[in-house]
């Protein structure tokens, strides 16, 4: 091999070695860069994991419509604090003179009452369970004072204590001390009422058929939007309830006869469907049904009192006097039904409802000697029935619309809530909140066969007397001022006409009067 060839070989080998060293160095640098990138990624992952762990442990605090809500970082547990109070004033204006023999109330009591004073907590646990506990320091007629038919009726301290399971899509199950979804305005939260009180027919139904405040019971509900067609909202609720928590009446035995009697019980339900909606306006149809399974007994081994009683005030609760009252009807069972229609067109709202109540009156002391139907004291001899209806409307003159809530898991069933003021009241901001004009007419008739007299003789067929509970008509005109989402003032003028009497003078205790009602409310 020549010297030139050897030199070429040596130069080529050196070049290859240099290239190999350069490639090795480049490969090492690349590997080092990749390792460094992986280390940085690991560090980022550790930072994100640490942040996530801190967020899970962290409990964020929010204010939802003035309501303090605390939640865990993952949102599986929450607790919210609720406050609601309603201070009512009522001024009655009655005639000073009445016909001879008049036995109705001549001086209904004007004054002030804390209608509701709620404090409660609510939230969820493990996502699938919800709860609500609510205490009430208010009540009708100034609280538990007095005696007899005019006794005060302060609500029980424990107003609500419910555990709800929501783990099945569209369903919810309530157990505890609850307020079942029932009747048209009965499914509206007391914080969102348009008038000071719900219509008479709804209060009678709630009180007599198991939907009144603070009932022991269980409830199942179902709700689905767009269930039948786009825009509809279908919902139903069924409940089984016992007696009120704040009353010992019809709740088993008296102390003098321990071991006798059972608590009253009812089954009730409501069905609604939003027939149409354009996103702002809505139309909804509803129906309510209820059956008294057992009206309760008070210590009598043969059935106790077993009575139903339908009565109500003139849509104001400052004075506790019921101007229409059937008295106690000897009935173990009873039933009712109602249909309602409500909706809004922009800032106009309207509602209508009709209800009928029936008591299955028992024979009592009558026997087959007088009436072949009376094979026993508990046998049913007739079915006194009563009825009522209501029409209402409102106009939000500042242009806001009522909110429609389709979710049955809210405080009440699907329905209409209060408007949200677009410009909350502020002197500094020259804004005056929302203003609403309202009107409602209700007619409740608790008379049944007014001319029917009791006949009890051994030689003829016997009958029980008709029932003269009276008829009451109330025209409620009012204005509501929503200062903001939490504070409002409500002013109602109830023009009341009562027709009531006795068999020999059906109008003896009739009268007309006005009652002016004012409410200050805070609710979050």
pLDDT in tens, 490-516: 999 999 999 999 999 999 999 999 999
Structure-derived torsion over alpha carbons of residues 166, 168, 170, 173, reported in degrees to the nearest 10: -50
Q: How confident is the model at residue 297 (pLDDT cuts 50, 70, 90)?
A: low
Q: Where are the alpha helices (DSSP H) in 344-397?
A: none
Q: How confident is the model at residue 151 (pLDDT cuts 50, 70, 90)?
A: very low
**Does the pLDDT value for residue 256 go beyond 70?**
no
Contacts of 347 by beta carbon, 8 Å cutoff, 6+ apart: 395, 396, 397, 399, 400, 401, 419
CA distances from 257 to 24, 260, 261, 297, 351 (A): 103, 6, 9, 12, 48
Q: Residue 520: how many CA atoms within 13 Å on its side-chain side? A: 5
Q: Which fold does the domain 59-523 belong to in CATH?
A: Porin (2.40.160)
What is the C-alpha to C-alpha distance for residues 196 and 474, in angstroms, rounded to an integer? 13
**Does the pLDDT value for residue 489 go beyond 90?**
yes
What is the C-alpha to C-alpha distance for residues 252 and 219, in angstroms, rounded to an integer? 23
Q: Which residue(s) pair with 140 in the sheet?
A: 153
What is the C-alpha to C-alpha distance for residues 420 and 144, in angstroms, rounded to an integer? 36
Q: Which residue has the tokens 């608590």?
A: 263
Q: How confident is the model at residue 302 (pLDDT cuts 50, 70, 90)?
A: very low
Tens digits of residue pLDDT in 378-416: 999 999 999 999 999 999 999 999 989 887 555 566 789
Residue with the larger pLDDT of the pair 382 and 53: 382
What is the C-alpha to C-alpha distance for residues 236 and 230, in angstroms, rounded to an integer? 18
**Does the pLDDT value for residue 5 go beyond 80?**
no
Which tokens go with 107?
């001086």
Q: How confident is the model at residue 4 (pLDDT cuts 50, 70, 90)?
A: low
* Three-state SS at 240: strand
What is the C-alpha to C-alpha distance for residues 197 and 141, in angstroms, rounded to an integer? 13
Residue with the larger pLDDT of the pair 1 and 312: 312
What is the C-alpha to C-alpha distance for residues 273 and 296, in angstroms, rounded to an integer? 34
Contact criterion met (CB below 8 Å) for 141 and 113: yes
| pLDDT (mean) for 2-31 | 58
| pLDDT (mean) for 3-16 | 55
What is the C-alpha to C-alpha distance for residues 449 and 223, in angstroms, rounded to an integer? 42
Spans of all domains in the chain: 13-57, 59-523
Q: Which residue(s) pair with 91 in the sheet?
A: 516
* Three-state SS at 504: coil
| pLDDT (mean) for 137-162 | 67
pTM above 0.95, yes or no: no
Contact criterion met (CB below 8 Å) for 496 and 465: no
| pLDDT (mean) for 145-168 | 73
**Does the pLDDT value for residue 253 go beyond 80?**
no
């Amino acid at each position: 091999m020549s010297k030139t060839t050897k030199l070429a070989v040596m130069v080529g080998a050196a070049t290859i070695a240099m290239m190999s060293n350069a490639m090795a160095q480049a490969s090492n640098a690349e590997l080092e860069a990749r390792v460094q990138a992986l280390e940085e990624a690991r560090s980022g992952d550790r930072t994100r994991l640490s942040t996530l762990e801190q967020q899970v442990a962290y409990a964020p605090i929010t204010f939802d419509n003035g309501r303090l809500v605390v939640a865990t970082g993952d949102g599986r547990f929450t607790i919210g604090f609720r406050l609601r109070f309603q201070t009512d004033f009522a001024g009655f204006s009655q005639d000073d003179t009445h016909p001879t023999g008049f036995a109705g109330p001549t001086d209904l009591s004007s004054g002030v009452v804390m209608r509701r004073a709620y404090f409660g907590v609510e939230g969820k646990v493990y996502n699938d369970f919800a709860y609500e506990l609510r205490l009430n320091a208010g009540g009708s007629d100034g609280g538990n004072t007095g005696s007899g038919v005019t006794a005060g009726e302060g609500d029980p301290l424990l107003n609500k204590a419910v555990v709800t399971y929501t783990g099945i899509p569209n369903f919810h199950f309530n157990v505890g001390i609850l307020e079942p979804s029932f009747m048209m305005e009965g499914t509206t939260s007391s914080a969102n009422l348009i008038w000071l009180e719900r219509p008479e027919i709804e209060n009678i139904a709630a009180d007599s058929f198991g939907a009144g405040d603070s009932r022991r019971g269980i409830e199942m509900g179902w709700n689905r939007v767009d269930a039948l067609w786009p825009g509809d909202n279908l919902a139903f609720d069924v409940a089984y309830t016992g007696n009120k928590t704040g009353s010992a009446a019809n709740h088993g035995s008296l102390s003098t006869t321990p071991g006798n009697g059972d608590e009253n019980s009812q089954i009730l339900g409501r069905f609604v469907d939003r027939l149409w909606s354009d996103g702002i306006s809505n139309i909804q149809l509803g129906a309510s049904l209820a059956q008294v399974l057992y009206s309760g007994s008070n210590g009598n081994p043969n059935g106790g009192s077993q009575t139903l009683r339908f009565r109500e005030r003139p849509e104001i609760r400052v004075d506790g006097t019921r101007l229409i009252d059937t008295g106690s009807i000897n009935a173990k069972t009873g039933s009712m039904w109602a249909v309602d229609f409500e909706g809004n067109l922009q800032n106009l709202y309207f509602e209508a409802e009709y209800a009928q109540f029936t008591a299955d009156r028992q024979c009592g002391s009558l026997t087959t000697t007088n009436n072949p139907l009376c094979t026993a004291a508990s046998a049913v001899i007739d079915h006194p029935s009563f009825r009522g209806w209501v029409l209402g409307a409102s106009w939000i003159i500042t242009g806001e619309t009522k909110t429609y809530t389709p979710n049955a898991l809210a405080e009440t069933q699907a329905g209409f809530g209060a408007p949200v003021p677009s410009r909350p009241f502020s002197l500094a901001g020259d804004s005056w909140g929302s203003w609403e004009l309202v009107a409602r007419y209700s007619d409740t008739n608790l008379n049944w066969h007014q001319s029917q007299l009791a006949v009890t003789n051994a030689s003829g067929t016997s009958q029980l007397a008709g029932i003269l509970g009276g008829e009451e008509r109330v025209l409620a005109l009012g204005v509501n001022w929503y200062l903001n989402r939490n504070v409002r003032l409500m002013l109602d003028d109830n023009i009341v006409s009562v027709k009531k009497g006795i068999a020999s003078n059906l109008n003896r205790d009739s009268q007309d009067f006005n009652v002016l009602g004012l409410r200050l409310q805070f609710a979050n």
